[in-house]
Amino acid sequence: MNKPVDEKAALRLSPDGAAKVEALIAQYPTKASALMPCIWVIMDEVGHVSEAGVDFLTEKLELTRARVHEVLSFYTMYRTEPQAEYTLQVCHNISCHIMGARPIIAHLEKRLGIRLGETTPDGKFAIEGVECLGACGLGPCLQLGKHLYEHLTPQKTDDLLDSLRKGVVPRADTERDKPSGGEIS
C-alpha cells in the first residue's frame, strides 16, 4: 500500500497527483482551504507527509511550516512517518467494546505477535485502537485504509489476515459497487 520514499529528496507526485493538486487549488475558494485535500493527495500516494511534503505544501499553498505542521499533527489520519503496509485500526469505543472489540484486539495481538500500537518487525502489519468509526450497530469493526470491515469475529479476522498476507485486500461489505468475490465472512 505504501511505497518507500527517500526522505531527503523533493516530493515527487505522479502526474495524476500533481494535476489533482492544481485542480484543488483552482476549485477551493482560497489556497489555504485546499490544504486538507492536498494533504490527502500526498497521503494517498505516499502514505505519509514527510518534510519534503511539507516543503511542497508550504510552497504550493503559500502557508507557513507552522501552519502545515499544526494541521498535520491535529488530525488522527495524517501521518508524518512511514507507515506499516497494513495498519489495522480497530474501534475501541463504547458500542464496539460492548460487542467485543477487546477480544478481537487480543486475537490480532496473538496472531501477529505484537501489542496494540506496535508494528510487526517486517513492517507489514500494525494494530491501532481508534475511536468510533460510525459502524456501531455493525461492530466490532476494523478499518484498513478505505476498507471498513464490520461484524468482526475471530474467524473473520483470521481470514482477513490470510488474505492480506497474500497481498489481497478483501472486499468489505460496505463496498457494494465492487464485484463480489473474495469476501471475508
Partner 1 sequence: MSSSDYKILSARFDRQDGHLLSVYEADGGYKALRMALTSLKPEEIRDVVKESGLRGRGGAGFPTGVKWGFVPEGSPEVYFFVNADESEPGTFKDRYLLDYDPHQTLEGTIISCFAVQAKLAFIYIRGEFGWLVDRVQAAVDEAYAAGYLGKNILGTGYDLDVIVHKGAGAYICGEETGLINSVEGVKGQPRIKPPFPAVAGFLDKPTIVNNVESVASVPWIINNGAEAYKKYGTEKSCGTKLWSVSGPVKNPGVYEIPLGMPFREFFHDYLGGMAEGEELKAVIVGGSSVPVLPASEIMNCNLDYESLMNAGTMLGSGGMIVIPESSDMVELIQVLMHFYFDESCGQCTPCREGTGWLHKIVKKLRRGEGTAADIDLLEHVCNGMAGLTICPLSDAAVMPMRSFIDKFRPEFEALIQETAPVGPVSRWPRGEQE
Partner 2 sequence: MAKLTIDGKEIEVPDGTSLFDACRDARGEALPHFCYHPDLSIAGVCRLCQVEVEGMPKLTIACNTGVRDGMVVHTRNERVTKASTQILEMHLINHPVDCPICDQAGECGLQNQYMNHGLYESKVEMDDKVNKAKAQVIGPHVILDKERCVLCTRCVRFCDEVTGTGEMGIFNRGNRAEIGTAPGVELDNNYSMNTVDICPVGALTGRDFRFQKRVWMLKAATSICPGCATGCNIRIDHEAGRIYRLKPRFNPEVNGRWMCDKGRITYKAVHEDSRLGDPKVAGQPGNWAAVPGAVADLGAKDGFGLIIASPHQSLEEMYLLKTLAGTAPVHGGLTGADLGDKDKLLLDADRTPNRKGLGLLGIEQGEGAALAAVIKSAAGPILIHGGDPAADPAVAEALSGRDIVYIGTHENATAGLAAVVLPGAMWAEKTGIFVNRDGRLQEFRQGVARHGSAREDWRILAELMSVGGLEDAPGSLKAARTGLTPAIGSDTDLNKIPERGFVPGGEVR
Q: Which residues bind partner 2 (CB under 8 A)?
A: 51, 54, 64-70, 73-74
Beta bridge partners of 87: 126
| Nearest distance from C-beta of residue 122 to partner 1, angstroms | 26
> CB-hemisphere CA count at 13 Å for 178?
12
14 makes contact, choosing from partner 1, partner 2, none, with CB < 5 to 8 Å by partner type, with: none
Identify which of residues 93 and 163 has a Cβ nearer to partner 1 in the complex: 93
In the sheet with 86-91, reading across from the earlier edge strand, the strands are 125-130, 86-91, 142-144, 147-149
3-class SS of residue 3: coil
- The number of beta carbons lying within 10 Å of the beta carbon of residue 152 is 26
Q: How far apart are CA 91 and CA 97, in angstroms?
A: 8
| Nearest distance from C-beta of residue 54 to partner 1, angstroms | 14
Pick from 1, 13, 17, 67 the residue near partner 1 by CB under 8 A: 67
DSSP code, position 126: E
Interaction residues for partner 1, span 77-106 (CB under 8 A): 77-78, 92-95, 97-99
Interacting residues toward partner 1 by CB under 8 A: 27-37, 39-40, 61, 63, 67, 70-71, 74-78, 92-95, 97-99, 130-139, 143, 145-148, 172, 174-177
